[in-house]
Chain A
């Protein structure tokens, strides 16, 4: 099974500053035949279901503000929020869908400093 680990577990960033969340998978989620990384990022606010932000590691979902970006390949990935807004306070999860059992990171709680 692929284990996905996020860092840090929590993060406090000032409004307008950059927030960076890391995600590491225990083995590569890059599928060589199509050169896609099977890695997604979700945002979850209290009492709401998760919301897809990024898929294929770096493709922003329609309607997601461009301050959100994803990068990385193979086993190491990053979600970056370029300029933190108050509405970005949430828990963020990375998710590998390379193989079942699908797995999620433990979550990173993002707060305002």
Chain B
């Protein structure tokens, strides 16, 4: 059974940093693109970032480019999102999601999400 479990969320002050983790199991982790998608309270889904299977290619939404870094450790089957210079508008539930296949594809499996709250 495919599982994605996010951790590392919490309350952080504006300008602060936080690192989210996404522990994966039930599939060959290194074979799949993994994405981060966020959802502000009561709002819709917003794509944040993606990384390819071996970690050599990354991509970001303009709103987080230069502040967030996606990475992965295929020996630990874990995805990360390092978030720096956090702003109030980054407050959201952050989901990791596994692509259906290789390249551009729909997001087949989702974690339960980690809540990040940026507030003083």
Contact = CB atoms under 8 A, between A and B. Distances in A.
B45 A55 contact: no
B61 interface: yes
A50 interface: yes
Interface string A74-104: 0000000000000000000101011111111
- Report whether over half of chain A's contact residues are helix, strand or loop; otherwise say mixed: loop
B90 to A, nearest CB: 16
B110 A49 contact: yes
> Which range holds the interface residue count of chain A?
20 to 34
Contact of B62 (A38, A40, A98, A101): A101
B111 A49 contact: yes
Contact of A95 (B45, B50, B61, B111): B45
Contacts of B44: 93, 104-107
Nearest to A38: B104
B107 A40 contact: yes
Given A50-B45, A100-B59, A40 B50 contact: no
A55 B46 contact: no
A61 interface: yes
A52 to B, nearest CB: 5
Contacts of B108: 52, 55, 61
Contacts of A104: 44-47
Among A40, A95, A100, A107, the one with the most B-chain Cβ atoms within 10 Å of its Cβ is: A100
A108 to B, nearest CB: 10
Contacts of A42: 45, 107
Contacts of A44: 45
A105 B100 CA distance: 20
A95 B106 contact: yes
A49 B47 contact: no
Nearest to A55: B106
B95 interface: yes
A95 B107 CA distance: 9
A90 to B, nearest CB: 13
A93 B104 contact: no
B108 to A, nearest CB: 5
List the 3 shortest-distance A-B pairs measured between CB atoms, nearest first. Answer: A40-B106, A49-B110, A55-B106
22 contacts: A40-B106, A40-B107, A42-B45, A49-B95, A49-B97, A49-B110, A49-B112, A50-B95, A52-B107, A52-B108, A55-B100, A55-B106, A61-B108, A93-B44, A95-B106, A97-B104, A101-B61, A102-B50, A103-B47, A104-B45, A104-B47, A106-B44
